[in-house]
Amino acid sequence: MEKKWMSWRGCWDYRRKDGRFENSEFVWDEYMKVKLKDVCIRDSSNLKQSDVLGKDGEYPIYGAAGYIGNVEFYHQEKSYVAVVKDGAGIGRTSLCPAKSSIIGTMQYLIPKENILPEYLYYVVRYMHLEKYYTGATIPHIYFKDYKNEKFNLDSIDRQSKIINILGKCEKIINVRQKEIEKLDNLVKARFVEMFNETNANWEEVTIADICKDMRTGPFGSALHHDEFVDEGIFVLGIDNAVENKFSYNRMRYITEEKYEKLKRYTVHPGDVIITIMGTVGRSAVIPEDMPKAINTKHLACLTPDTNIVDSYFLVNVFQVHPLIRKQLESQSKGAIMNGLNLTIIKGLKFRLPPLELQKKFVIFYNQINKSKVKVQKALDETQKLFDSLMQQYFG
């Protein structure tokens, strides 16, 4: 163990006041810089999910997605940390209770006497173990690759205080996330209320009927990764729509010269983009202040006929309309990855309500979005504080 006393390090003791955190006391602290292997013992499980299903008992078993079920036995007497080591969700970290077990796709990290389970949980989350993955088809991470990760180990007393601070911060994050979820559910409920019981007098249309133009991005041979530059014309991809709203996540750029060759793929304010590869069926409206941009082959771009359909109504058709969702889920295809194509999207059918009724819904939608922006801002601020504290305590 590398012992390194740092008596000069100090940290703010954050306390909650009126739902916010504020600096209340500067606490000088001593800690040791240690490796992960110094504070926990690795263990494995040979349980399969099929061993658990249909069983009953007192003791819980957990998998990559969380709780699976109860059985009549347990593998761990005390609380521990579990890490997804194989497959989807690799690196995801969970804090599991005493007298419980995990399935074989997960790794036990059993805390030693010098560390509290909750502190170990936050430490491992801070390390982002997913960066150690290997394997293309089924990713894996191995303890031998991350066991030497270093972090700051405080005294047990300070660990308890840090756990308390981070826990309060996470509670606020969870409250904000639930507020956003409730607002999203309000939009969905309003949409279904207005448009699910479709009027027989409304015309049945396809998506192609209500769009002026529909296109995908350039094929791979027309746009290579080595042609992306640090600034220039935006190139939109899956990341910009995957949250079911437009986001400036992971922006890519091409030169003006390259854009001139690909300008037929230009996206315009009010266009609707839909993910057609990877996480399929996610959609967003291009904002009014969007600079010049094109989309990649991973997106379909629709230019609505605004004389008969509102862009924000249309994006909610893709996200909420029961008939469209059913068609998307049944027609998405692809052997390795789910995929959509333009032909499928063009052929999606529903009954189109009058534009006036669409506008009425969009007014409600925009009001809810204003509330979401405020909640999201508060959430982002709390998340930023949480990330900063993790860096301060463990980095």
Q: What structural domains does the chain harbor?
A: 10-174+380-394 (3.90.220.20), 203-352 (3.90.220.20)
pTM of the complete model: 0.79
Instruction: Provide the residue type at 97 as one letter.
Output: P
pLDDT at 220: 74
Alpha helix stretches (DSSP H) within 128-155: 143-146
Residue 175 has pLDDT above 50, yes or no: yes
Residue 296 has pLDDT above 80, yes or no: yes
Within a 13 Å sphere around the CA of 284, how many CA atoms are in the beta-carbon half? Answer: 25
Tokens of 132: 């150690």
pLDDT digits (tens, 9 = 90+) for 121-157: 999 999 999 999 888 778 899 999 999 999 999 999 9
Least confident of 70-79, 189-198, 356-365: 189-198
Over pLDDT 90: what percentage of the chain?
75
pLDDT at 147: 95
Pair type for strands 293-295 and 233-236:
parallel
For the chain, the distance separating the N- and C-terminal CA atoms, rounded to the nearest angstrom, is: 17
DSSP category for residue 84: E
Nearest by Cα to 371 from 174, 169, 184:
184
pLDDT digits (tens, 9 = 90+) for 210-222: 999 999 999 877 8
- CA 281 – CA 273 distance, rounded (Å): 10
Residue 211 phi/psi, 5° resolution?
Answer: -120, 140
Least confident of 18-32, 83-97, 281-295: 18-32
pLDDT digits (tens, 9 = 90+) for 183-238: 999 999 999 999 976 788 899 999 999 999 999 999 877 888 888 999 999 999 99
